[in-house]
Structures are given as structure tokens and as C-alpha cells.
Chain A
Amino acid sequence: MLDFSVPRGEIEFFLNGRPCRARKGDTLAAALWALGVRRFGLSRKKREPRGPFCFIGRCHDCEVSVDGRPRVKACMTEVRPGMRVEIPGEVGDEEALSP
């Protein structure tokens, strides 16, 4: 019933300048989570780590910068070829991120 063996990777996008692969139709939040990214952004006041809480566009905790636009909800944004995503600081699992 659940198929986790689907190959991920028709789409190439960039995370902090590094090329990564995602599956067509994925939201950016799902694509980043699949790559091992857990911390998406930092809270505005205390600069604490934040990651997706709801995955349905309500909590704003998955906001990242997309193609220069700040604070875009990753869970409501479909990943597109060539998309440039910025997350402050070092992110994710280095091994998973290499194409």
C-alpha cells in the first residue's frame, strides 16, 4: 500500500547553491524533508530552529527563501526545476544532499 521505493529525482533544484534532486509534484517541504533537512528556518526573535509542524499551510514554521523571495511556505510551494532555495546556516545531511 505504501511505496517508499519510488525513485526521487526528476527535478533538479538548488539548496544554498548546492544541486539537489526532487520528485515531480512534490512540495518543497516534502522534497527537503526527504533530503534529510529538518531545520528550515530560524524564528524571528530568538533565532531558534524551526521546521514544518502542519504541512498544510497553517503554521508558517516551514518558511524558506525561494528565488530571492523571503518567507515562502515550503509546504504550499511545488518544487520546480532550477528553483533556488536558501536556508540560513548549515543544513541537512551532507551525504543525502550530494546529487
Chain B
Amino acid sequence: MKKPYPLEDRELVVVGAGPAGMCAAQTAANCGMDVLLLEETAKCGGQLNKQIHKFFGSREHGAGKRGFEIARELEGACRSAGVEIRTKNPVIGGFSDGRLLVRGETGLYLAEPRALIVAAGAQEKPLAFPGWTLPGVMGAGAAQTLMNLYGVLPGKRVVMVGSGNVGLIVSYQLIQAGAGVAVVEIGEEAGGYRVHANRLLALGVPFLFRHEVVGAEGGDSVEAVVLRDLESGRLKRIRADCVCLAVGMSPLVELPLMLGCEMAYRGCLGGWLPQHDREMRTTQPSVWVAGDASGVEEASVAMEEGRLAAASAARDAGRIRGKRAEKLIGEIQARLCELRGGPYNWERRQAKECLGSVTRTA
């Protein structure tokens, strides 16, 4: 008979060491929980590691700091709180009883957590057009990874498709790195913050509004992009060796699906996501979600959601009680509400509130 996998019996396992997962792990450990933080890659930080720009917002969410600096701070806070961090430990399976199959550095093992927080993050959405599978067509975040984490230029002539904040920020960084960039936007104006668009306009970056991508052409990799002007219907061919798609992200839902969590569709949050209540609890007992895996928003929101899920799990485990628990959870919820304030976030706030009020947990 085959030897059974080694078993790890833990009070709390957090999957994903991005902003949500690290904040969850730290908060839970500070509440006295025994925490194991599992990370697929070699480094904690998730997508914070490639954010070389300074963050906006409030000071407690790291405004004025660069993403990778925030990542190092959160990692340090996790370590001092006593979190056990295992990088290069991808979770490759989940079972409806909450157990996880993990690929450790020396072999597979089963984690049997009494509570589980899934903070797996998101992936970039593709955009299908003839030629979209050609090498050189990639996510805007992929281009950012390549240049900001590894110092490799994705292309010399880049067409950025989409002008949300990701498209605008990555375009600016590509230019700083020495690439030429043209931004294609199907709408009439830039989708992201004006401050980002203005920086590109000041550099003379061409914006092609009311244009759509018709196709990418090339042999073994991209050589040109064909665009259609939606006003005149005319086609244009632009020479390019890289096409970056900045058309949104969707939550990574493989693990919640395997765990048997009920799903909901919310377009403004990136599509399918695990149904969850106002404390980030899914429909599966003792499984919480946090961060982009529960609906794509900002990194600051992900951090608070991680803290919220952890506080809820710590209360369920009896690690925090009564007024102290209510106060901690209430304070985090208030900060989340504030972060989602303003017209830019109205739709997402509504969607999250609606999810929270309909979720019934087992």
C-alpha cells in the first residue's frame, strides 16, 4: 500500500502571502492563533513586489510607500507575530472537508487546518482576437513582472490595450524603462485616474480612444497590431513587438471551487467569486476568503479584508471574545467602508454589501 501523505494539523492555514494573506496571518497570530502561511512563489508579497510606484490613500494603508516596501514590512510583521511562513509551497488540491494538498520542497503533504483563509489573489483577464495567442501578447501585469522584478524589457514598441489604472501605470513604467508605448482605449476617455493619464499625455504618448483591437499579426511572435477606429470604421496597422492587455482581472477561484464553496457572479468585482458574508466567511464551514480572491479591488482593501477574515476566524476559535472581538471586527469593517467610499467604488461597495446580506453560512 502507498504510504499516506504526512499530515499537518494546524489551527489556521492562510493560502497566499500577498497583502491580504499576510495581513490575515499577522492579525490571527496577534490574536494568539497558531498560523501557517503557504505561498506558491519563492517570495512573500504577491503583486506588491512589482509595484514600484508610490501608493495613494491613507497612511495606515501604506500611502507614500512603494508596493515592494509594504511587502517587506508586512512580511516582517508576520515573522515577529510568530507566523510560520512557507514559500515555494503551492497548494495543489483542496477537499470539501477543508483539507489541503500541498507540494512542499521535499514532497507532498496534507494540511488539516481547523480554520482556513484563502487569499489566492487574481489573474489577468485575456482579450480574445485573432492572433491573441501569439508570443508577445501578454497581460499588462505580466509585462510589469518582467520589467520590475527581473529587469527585462518586455518589448521595444508596446501597444497597451486598456487605459484603467493598471494600463496607465504600466505604460508609464514601460516608458521609464525605455520602451515606446501607444495606448488603445475603446471608450472616449482614459478609464484610470486622471493623474496617471496626464503624466502620459505630458510625455506625448499617443492615446487612441474609440479604437478596438482587430488582431495581432506575426510569425513566431507579434510584429503588428491591427486596430479599428470605431468612429470611421477605418483599419490601422501599428508595428509592435509586444501587446499588453490591461482589461481587468478576475478572482482565482480554483481552491474555493475544490473546497465546495458556493459561487456568485459579480461583474464589477471581476466575475465569479466565492459567496461570502460581511466577515469574509464562505458557505463552507471554517473557510474564509480575503483580498482579490474574494473580488478584485485595491491592495488596501485586500489588507483590511485579510484582517477581517482573521479576526472572524480568531473569534470562532475562541482566541478573542466578547467586546474585544466585536470592537476589532467593527473597526476593520468601518475602515473597509471608508476605503470603498466615493463614486469610483460605489458599484463595488454595493456588490459587496449585497453579497454579505444574502450569504447564509452552513
Contacts and interface: CB of A to CB of B under 8 A. Distances in A.
Contacts of B136: 38, 51
B135 A50 contact: yes
A17 B164 CA distance: 43
B148 interface: yes
Given A33-B152, A38-B220, A53 B41 contact: no
Interface SS majority for chain A:
loop
B142 interface: yes
A55 B42 contact: no
A52 B138 contact: yes
Interface residues of B, number: 34
A2 B173 contact: yes
A2 B176 contact: yes
Interface in A21-45: 23, 26-27, 30, 33-34, 38-40, 43
B139 interface: yes
A40 B151 contact: no
B146 interface: yes
A2 B124 contact: no
A39 B94 CA distance: 34
Contacts of B147: 2
Contacts of B198: none
B108 to A, nearest CB: 17
A88 B141 CA distance: 27
A26 B138 contact: no
A43 B147 CA distance: 26
Contacts of B247: none
A33 B138 CA distance: 13
B150 A4 contact: no
A48 B134 CA distance: 8
B41 A49 contact: no
A3 interface: yes
Nearest to A58: B123
B139 A53 contact: yes
Contacts of A12: none
A53 B220 contact: no
Contacts of B145: 55-56
A57 B40 contact: yes
Contact of A49 (B52, B176, B220): B220
B134 to A, nearest CB: 6
Interface of A: 1-4, 6, 23, 26-27, 30, 33-34, 38-40, 43, 48-58, 61, 76, 78
Interface of B: 40-42, 52, 123-124, 126, 133-139, 141-142, 145-154, 173, 176-178, 219-221, 252
Given A56-B145, A57-B41, 19 more contacts: A2-B52, A2-B148, A2-B151, A4-B177, A26-B150, A33-B154, A34-B150, A38-B136, A39-B135, A39-B221, A43-B133, A49-B221, A54-B124, A54-B141, A54-B142, A55-B145, A58-B123, A61-B133, A76-B41
10 contacts: A33-B146, A34-B152, A38-B135, A49-B221, A52-B138, A54-B141, A54-B142, A56-B145, A57-B40, A76-B40
